[in-house]
Amino acid sequence: MDLGLRGKRAIVTGGSRGIGKQCALALAREGVHVCIAARTEDILNQTLAELEQTGGKGHTVAVDLTTQAGCKKVVQETIDRFGGVDILVNNVGAARNADILGLSPKLIDEALSLKTYSYLRMSQLVIPYMRENQWGRIVNVAGAAGTSPTRGNIPTGAANITILNITRALSDAVAGDGILVNTVCPGLTNTGRARTQQSARAKREGRDVEELLQELGQELPAGRIAEPEEVANVVTFLASEACSYMFGSALYMDGGKRRATP
């Protein structure tokens, strides 16, 4: 299938590692020029080197996306380097969680500031450029915790459920301009972040993190956790010409945990 992506210009936030990195690489393999934004310059440079090895064209911006100025910098450098922006993949941000009985509201504020507010700011900043061409794709990556709250993941859940609301509202606002806004909701995925998240439990139970991740995967209908490349494949489709009739939707990539419930 021809995804119609060659020559498009994309921004991937949180694109230096994990799911974001694989999204950047997948888009580059389709001929997209990709601006990768994240905090850490040396990791960004490593990802850029991998992207260029695929024959892709890339650019990096080391930036704090909790600020309006940081978001503006990413968009402006993309415009300066590539002449426009057609695709935005919002992926930045990993919340710190705590048990609800001892949860500080500060952790919720942090989660909203890093993830939700940056998604909204970045979307608002790129939409005028997409409107000029009457074509655009905004793909938000928001973990499945948004609709699967537990006593231990409220900061993550609060940020992600707000992103789902933003997705629907943005889609309603720009659908007539040829801009599609959708969300991918991954469950547990085989990334460094997943290992960090499970390390405390593994240590507490005297177990190996890899063993624990394998066990958690076996509890799912899929029988395993997701690979970041699998999530990136879906994001790439949502960013493409081939995706032409999905508006304000959320796709759950959680190994069947949610199983088509509303």
Tens-digit pLDDT profile for the chain (262 aa)? Answer: 889 999 999 999 999 999 999 999 999 999 999 999 999 999 999 999 999 998 999 999 999 999 999 999 999 999 999 999 999 999 998 778 888 999 999 999 999 998 999 999 999 999 999 999 999 999 999 988 878 888 988 999 999 999 999 999 999 999 999 999 999 999 999 988 888 878 777 778 888 888 889 999 999 999 999 999 999 999 999 999 999 999 999 999 999 988 776 6
Domain membership flag for residue 22? yes
Can you state the angle between helices 68-82 and 117-133, rounded to 10 degrees? 30
Domain membership flag for residue 193? no
Contacts of 215 (CB under 8 A, 6+ apart): none
Domain membership flag for residue 163? yes
Domain membership flag for residue 137? yes
Domain membership flag for residue 68? yes
Domain membership flag for residue 119? yes
pLDDT for residue 259:
78
How many domains are there within the chain? 1
Alpha helices (runs of H) in 30-67, residue ranges in sequence order = 41-53
pLDDT for residue 262:
60
Is residue 146 within 8 A of residue 161, CB to CB? The reply is: yes
How far apart (Å, rounded) are the C-alpha atoms in residues 238 and 4?
12
pLDDT for residue 25:
98
User: Domain span at residue 47?
Assistant: 9-187+226-253
Domain membership flag for residue 216? no
Domain membership flag for residue 2? no
**Tokens 């498009």 found at:** 8
Q: List the CATH number of the domain containing 136.
A: 3.40.50.720
3-state DSSP call for residue 73?
Answer: helix
